[in-house]
């Protein structure tokens, strides 16, 4: 999320471009889901530019934003980390993927059965979704996404997980204060880190068997 429709559109286009570069540099199929994550994040921001332009409300763009932000990312991130992780880390990452799936299911149900409303609040957009046990769902979401990065067994992905944890806290605080939405800058930073991760990955045929963490 950015602070205006223009900012979301520009940032989303830039993040998507980083995603295109990441996908183009992929050397092994197992890295593709994570390499493509900036494409998803860029599309997410472009969708929110439409939400801004429409003045919020309950339109298709609002629903699409919530679908990507909640159930899709809850599964995409741990699944991508599992695919790319070294063998010694995969057992624990399977557990975190299961947490992501278990979290995504009620999120998807809530989006399918209840309205999603966006409201322009100064330089932020607030989304209202009727969900049961929201605290538990947030905990499961963070465990599946940030937790999978921190336990990935890959130094760069662990760094990304630490950035995600700190950045999410800062962005959430600014958003709650309705000061300014900075998620777009956070997404851009994470996308650049992922691009660097892709550039350093060995070809699939030469992936080392030793631990990387």
What per-residue confidence (pLDDT) applies to 180?
45
Spatial separation of the C-alpha atoms in residues 79 and 207, rounded to whole Å:
19
**Nearest CA among 18, 174, 154, 160 for reference residue 82:** 154
* Cβ burial, residue 180 (10 Å; 0-12/13-18/19+): middle
Helix axes 73-84, 37-53, angle to 10 degrees: 160
Phi, psi of 119 (to 5 degrees): -130, 125
CATH class of 5-206: mainly alpha
Radius of gyration of the chain (CA): 17
* Consecutive 10-residue averages of pLDDT for the chain (213 residues): 85 95 95 96 94 93 94 97 95 97 96 92 85 90 94 94 83 53 75 94 62 47
Retrieve residue 142's tokens.
């963070």
Q: For the whole model, what pTM was predicted?
A: 0.89
pLDDT at site 121: 82
Alpha helices (H) in 5-72, listed in sequence order: 5-25, 32-35, 37-53, 60-67
Identify whether the C-beta of residue 82 lies closer than 8 Å to the C-beta of residue 148: yes
């Amino acid at each position: 999320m950015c602070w205006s429709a223009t900012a979301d559109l520009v940032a989303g286009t830039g993040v998507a471009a980083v995603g295109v570069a990441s996908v183009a540099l992929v050397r092994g199929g197992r890295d593709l889901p994570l390499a493509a994550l900036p494409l998803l994040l860029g599309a997410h921001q472009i969708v929110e530019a439409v939400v801004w332009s429409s003045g919020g409300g309950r339109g298709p763009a609002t629903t699409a934003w919530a679908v990507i932000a909640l159930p899709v990312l809850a599964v995409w991130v741990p699944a991508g980390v599992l695919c790319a992780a070294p063998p010694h880390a995969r057992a624990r990452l399977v557990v975190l993927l299961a947490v992501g799936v278990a979290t995504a299911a009620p999120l998807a149900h809530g989006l399918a059965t209840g309205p999603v409303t966006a409201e322009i609040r100064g330089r932020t957009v607030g989304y209202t979704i009727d969900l049961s046990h929201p605290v538990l769902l947030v905990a499961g979401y963070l465990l599946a996404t940030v937790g999978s990065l921190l336990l990935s067994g890959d130094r760069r992905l662990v760094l990304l997980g630490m950035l995600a944890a700190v950045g999410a806290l800062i962005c959430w605080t600014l958003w709650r204060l309705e000061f300014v939405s900075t998620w777009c800058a956070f997404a851009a930073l994470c996308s650049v880190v992922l691009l660097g991760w892709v550039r350093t990955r060995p070809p699939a045929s030469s992936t080392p068997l030793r631990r990387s963490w």
